[in-house]
Structure 1
Amino acid sequence: MKHALKITLILLGMFFITQLIGLAVINAYTSTTQTITHTNGTIENIQVEKQIPYGLDPPADTTPETTLVSIVIAILLAVLIMFMLMRFKAEIFLRIWFFSVVALAIGISLNAVFMSWQHGALIALAISVPLAYLKVYQRHMLVHNATELLVYPGIAVIFVPLLNIWTSVVLLVLISIYDMYAVWHAGFMQKMAHYQIKQLKVFSGFFVPYLGAKQKAKIANLSSKEKATKKIKVNLAILGGGDVVFPLILAGVVLQHLGLFQALTISVGATIALAALFWKSQKGKFYPAMPFISAGCLAALALVYVL
């Protein structure tokens, strides 16, 4: 196992909790059908649409296939822009970029709670902006991980209405191929994570710093004065944001097309696959999580159709 059991369980817990929160948020934005009985006795079924705030409601005149192509192109462009900005050390712009995305995503998630309130979207944004500021500019570990629980549901809810099950599956496969290339062949995923953590001071994903047995023993032998001045290298357990949001997108699409139990099956399958990866991973090695998570999602999806 690459990380200590407690740290592994923390990462798995945050992953699964995000999936559950995401399904709740997606369900809150899912359109519903209401039955109205008129005074003359006629019954009418009307569709009640739930709009995503901040001008991020998905376009109606698009197909799942078009959306799939658009997402793939957008990801490739985002990676290219990210590396260009890294090369030119544009940390200020990147932090503003991260801040904007985080604030809007958290606002969308919180609006699921305040949706029925007057000016609910503004209330959600008033809460999300300070949280995004603390996350991006103050770099507090607890705030970072707590807000991550809300970031990915807010992102997923934008894409779920635009996809169907088969395009979501294709997206998982393509992302898995990209992840394997980026980690095992090119190695730029590690460079991007290192840059975000060390230079940008912002990381898109969960991260848990912890001390290993050797570091704890070293600290125990230090004097009080040395503890205050000496720098100790800590271990870092991370889980990228893409590893969280893409299985959530599939689970959200399954929720809208098949139902809650089927969607939960996808989330459980993804969590089990991630747990297996953590269990088999070795210290000092880097692994692309998406191929394993996607395998768990697809196995769960097959089980859903069999049952």
Structure 2
Amino acid sequence: MKGRVALLACLVFLSVQVFGLYVANFYQNVELPYGLEPLPKKSALGFLVSGVILFTLLFFSLRRFKVLLRLWFFIAIFSVMSVSLRAFVDELSSAFVAFWLAVMRIKEDDLFLHDLTEVLLYGGLVSLLYPSFSVLHVIILLLVISVYDIVSVLFTKHMMKLAKIQLKTKTFAGIFVPRSRGFAILGGGDLAFPLLFLSVVMREYGYGVVLPLAFSTLSLFLLIRLGKEKKAYPAMPFLTSGLLLGFLLLQLFQYPPL
């Protein structure tokens, strides 16, 4: 059973990464839609780390204001899905489809729809971020987020409290994988930060991105397959290890950059 759950989780994880990489690659030579601009390069790292902290504080502060929290979440997922879908259709059509999917995501309790929108939205989010990051800066970000993940899951445990608030208010960012009892859950950060790293690597090394993608997926499989079913684990340290191992091999093979 754990092997099946691990495979399903890896399949959805891979879907997010591959779709997101396609979207990120599309925006390498195309301007962002709706007048959007990437983050300023000088402040991108600090902005994103601060954003993670503010995101956490926002959810805890607004946990009693369910309608307001869901409205903010709706606007967020609608916006980034619009950017993602613009890689396939025109701006008006992408906004229309994204609006409909965001409404259904908030309204319906449908597992497939939830995970489908998760696959669609991270490419748009990362396309706003990765042009502002160098390889060094995104590696530093991975290490900082991994330490934060360890502290928030194993020590302060506020990450589990945050997940409960999101589940209760139907604003959970992440994927669900059915298992014998309940679900295996992979948070939004565990999808977005690897995609950000992979997008930067793809920009610099082209198809060499396959190596860190493969090793990060393998690390996720081992985490779910070998971990205890009812215990929460910080996924980012494992994903970061896989990403950096794949990147190290990329350097050793001296894969030529594009």
TM-score, reference length from structure 1: 0.79
Unaligned 5+ segments in structure 2 are 254-258
**Structure 1 residue corresponding to 2:58, chosen from 66, 69, 81:** 81
Q: Which amino acid aligns with 1:24?
A: Y
d(CA) in 2 for partners of 1:94, 1:139: 17
d(CA) in 1 for partners of 2:143, 2:212: 15
**Structure 2 residue corresponding to 1:23, chosen from 14, 21, 35:** 21
How far residue 201 of structure 1 moved from its aligned partner, in angstroms, is: 2.3
Q: Which amino acid aligns with 1:29?
A: Y
In the alignment, does 2:51 pair up with 1:57? no
8 Å CA contact 1:139, 1:202 repeated in 2: no
Counterpart position of 1:94: 69
Counterpart position of 1:208: 177
**Structure 2 residue corresponding to 1:273, chosen from 201, 216, 219:** 219
Aligned residues: 253
d(CA) in 2 for partners of 1:284, 1:95: 28
d(CA) in 1 for partners of 2:170, 2:44: 32
Paired residues for 1:86-235 under 5 Å: 86=63, 89-114=64-89, 120-197=90-167, 199-210=168-179, 212=180, 234-235=181-182
How far residue 266 of structure 1 moved from its aligned partner, in angstroms, is: 1.7
In the alignment, does 2:240 pair up with 1:240? no
d(CA) in 1 for partners of 2:175, 2:53: 22
Q: Which amino acid aligns with 2:175?
A: F
Question: After superposition, what is the alpha-carbon deviation per residue over 1:224-275, rounded to whole angstroms, capped at 9, x for unaligned?
Answer: xxxxxxxxxx41211101001101101100111121x211222111101111
| Structural RMSD (CA) | 1.3
Question: After superposition, what is the alpha-carbon deviation per residue over 1:212-234, rounded to whole angstroms, capped at 9, x for unaligned?
Answer: 3xxxxxxxxxxxxxxxxxxxxx4
How far residue 6 of structure 1 moved from its aligned partner, in angstroms, is: 2.1
Counterpart position of 1:299: 245
8 Å CA contact 2:56, 2:162 repeated in 1: no
Unaligned 5+ segments in structure 1 are 32-49, 115-119, 213-233
8 Å CA contact 2:105, 2:117 repeated in 1: yes
d(CA) in 2 for partners of 1:243, 1:74: 15
**Structure 2 residue corresponding to 1:282, chosen from 220, 228, 236:** 228
How far residue 7 of structure 1 moved from its aligned partner, in angstroms, is: 2.2
User: Identity of aligned pairs, percent?
Assistant: 32
How far residue 103 of structure 1 moved from its aligned partner, in angstroms, is: 0.9
In the alignment, does 2:37 pair up with 1:10? no
